[in-house]
Structure 1
Amino acid sequence: MSPSKIVELSSSIATNTKLVDDYLSENGLPTPSFDASYPPDLPLPPHITQAKQTVLEAMDELEALLLGPMPKIFNDLVVRLTGQTSLHAIAKFKLANNVPFDSTITIPELAKTSGLDEGDCNRLISHALTNRLFVEEEPGVIKHSAMTSAIVNVPLFRDWIEETCENMWSSAPRIVSAMEKWPGSEEPNETAYNLARHTELPFFADISADKSGMRAKRFADSMSFFQANPTMRTSLIVDNYDWASHKVVVDVGGSQGDVALGLVKRFPEIKCVVQDLPEVIAGAPKDVERVEFQGYDFFTEQPVKDADVYLFRMIFHNWGDKYCIQILKNLIPALKNGTKLVINDHVVPEPGVLSPFNYRSVRAFDLVMKECFNAKERDINDWTALLKKADERFVIADVKRPEGSQLQIIEVNWEG
């Protein structure tokens, strides 16, 4: 008789956990811990990362099987629905920042320091402790855990948490209402975010309307944190495309030129033009050899004609198809036969390629794009259809994902 599924999963968990534990022990690395001294992230080689991933996938499936259908749904609706409340408060009220690293603090002291009602603070910390945010030394007395230590010590991490909770998490419950009110809409001001914030402004216009500048800064800082992820580093696009055979590269929506700066450093023959809105490039580096910064709105005709490559890095996923087609059509007058478009963006895997555990985060990110921007993440069929709708002369030549990258490189030929 073959073992049951739950026994099979538990065996996989035990086997792969031992692989991880043996590697850590053999290499003098710390074993996973909730202690505040544990590092915020621990890079591991691919084979150990895979073993860890196998454990997490099996745990996810085992939990769902052991809970059963109704308890699983109850857990998701009640427990996980409120699961981020205390984390939101920790970020917003800077609770972790107000806990000393070398000692403890009482709940009344933390409430006073953070400007919170003592009862509210006690309630939030009690919930946070169940998620291993802080450690309770004795009743009413807490100290840092590994996660709250990371919130304080990792640059911009707290900003990213607060931004995610304030805008993404608060919008998520309204996505169904937005779909009901504006079925099939691709308009950036007909979103769950608009319902949550009671605004008619699109996301970026709304955060820019804050005269204090705090919301725009928090968003910028949170994106800086997000893009500091090793799987998002600009070297992955710089090192994994044939830039050497090109002379002029236009980075459309290139912000303050991180990719361009990497390109001109690596390839001495390349000249780069970085385009973005004037207020974005205002803070860009000045007088960089072979890098030109140009104010440009990609909903207008492309002013740089006959470049060899037009790069779009994480641009199209912010927009619905209707607006992506406009961006692409505005590029056409600048193109010549053989011009390349390089799209550095997510490509959603086909269903069944990833485990539900991994695919869940892909689909969650797609819903975030919908709820805030009426945008989407695309699979390869979506990318092909989008380019064809813009103009059939856009032809995908190659798609590849560099090792260690969450973004893929889509090379598109203009066959005009």
Structure 2
Amino acid sequence: MKTSRVSQLVCSISSNTATVEAYLESQGLPSPSFNVDAPRDLGIPPDANDIEDARRAALEATIELQDLLQGPTALLRPVTVEAMHTFKGCEPNETGHALAQNTKDNMFDWLEKHPDKARRFNSAVSTLVPSGRAATLLKESFDWNSIGDGTVVDVGGASGAISIMLAKDFPALNFVVQDLPKALEGTAERLPRDLIHRIKFMNHDFFTDQTVVADAYLLRAIFHNWPDAYCVKILQRLIPALKPGARIIVNDSIVPPPGTLSLLAERNVR
């Protein structure tokens, strides 16, 4: 009799979990748990590739098994299915979130009206930075010294954390952090004293014309939140301020076609 996919997944979970557990025991590392005194991660070093492969294989098999045992309806959740049938366009307020909250606002406008929810949302997403948007990668992947003592506009820069990091590593640069008023509340007061002359905060909606003439415009983790047509609008709003030689630096996620990543990586990016 042919072995079912469910049975195959159970075997994969069992064998790969056993591999990880055996490694942890051999290295004197504790078994994973959510106890208060438990370590924050498994402690698997970067060079233990076979153990990391086993861990990921167990996770991917677990995800697929859970999906199969839930079935399509439970997996997609009713509100997602309803949104797919209700909305035929690509407007930012045509989402499952809009249906669930009974609102015509897009998610960011809705969060601005619900500050408690916004704080929880911001706290949650701060833990979900994809490796391609790691701050160190941004720092190393562009020649910031080529701007000299010029000015960088951090469009939608919120707390200014990225500008602060770059200002510390590139002491000739100056920054203007732009965002909506709610996002900028209290940011200037938290700025390190040695950077107050090099980092300024400015209220700005990136769907309105840019007014700061600068040497570079950084758009980090902006475009993945908006439909393509809105991303084009954001870029177009930079045009009035662009001078010859100005750079537009985009640091964001690009999602490859479905089925090209492993199941775990696919789940993380979508």
Partner of 1:291: 199
User: 1:60 offset after TM fit, Å?
Assistant: 4.2
- Deviation for aligned residue 1:283: 1.4
8 Å Cα contact 1:12/1:55 also seen in 2: no
What displacement does 1:32 show? 3.0
1:237: which partner in 2? 138
SS of corresponding position for 2:48: helix
**Pick from 58, 61, 83: which aligns with 1:178?**
83
Deviation at 1:297? 0.8
d(CA) in 2 for partners of 1:175, 1:207 = 19
TM-superposed deviation, 1:55: 4.2
Match of 1:187 in 2: 91
Mapped pair 1:207 → 2:111 = yes
Task: Give the stretch that moved more between structures: 229-238 or 280-289.
Answer: 229-238
In the TM superposition, 1:3-402 aligns within 5 A as: 14=15, 17-18=18-19, 20-21=20-21, 23-25=23-25, 27-33=27-33, 37-48=37-48, 51-57=51-57, 60-61=60-61, 73=68, 75-77=69-71, 81=74, 172-183=77-88, 185-210=89-114, 213-226=115-128, 233-246=134-147, 247-286=150-189, 288-305=196-213, 307-362=214-269, 365=270
TM, length-normalised to structure 2: 0.78
Which deviates more from structure 2 when the two are superposed, residues 42-51 or residues 239-248?
Answer: 42-51
**Counterpart of 1:47 in 2: which secondary structure?**
coil
CA distance in 2, matches of 1:186, 1:263: 35
Q: TM-score, normalised by structure 1?
A: 0.53
Separation (CA, whole Å) in 2 of partners of 1:313 and 1:34: 33
RMSD (CA atoms): 3.6
Gaps of 5+ in 1: 83-168, 366-416
- How far did residue 302 of structure 1 move? 0.9
* Count of residues paired in the alignment: 259
With over 3 angstroms needed to count, the CA separation of the structure-2 counterparts of 1:55 and 1:10, relative to structure 1, is farther
Structure 2, unpaired ranges of 5+: none
Could you tell me how far apart the structure 2 residues matched to 1:273 and 1:344 are? 17
CA distance in 2, matches of 1:8, 1:190: 36
Q: What's the offset of the Cα at 1:326?
A: 0.8
DSSP 3-state at the match of 1:179 = helix
- The answer to whether the Cα contact below 8 Å between 2:207 and 2:234 also exists between their aligned partners in 1 is yes
Percent of counterpart pairs with the same letter? 37
Letter in 1 for 2:265: N
* Aligned equivalent of 1:88: none
The one-letter code matched in structure 2 to 1:241 is F
Rounded Cα–Cα distance in structure 1 between residues aligned with 2:63 and 2:247: 47
Of structures 1 and 2, the larger Rg is shown by 1
Measured after TM superposition, the shift of residue 253 of structure 1 is 0.2
CA distance in 2, matches of 1:202, 1:245: 38
The C-alpha deviation readout for 1:49-105, integer Å capped at 9, x for no partner, is: 6633444426745996xx8xxx974x1239x949xxxxxxxxxxxxxxxxxxxxxxx
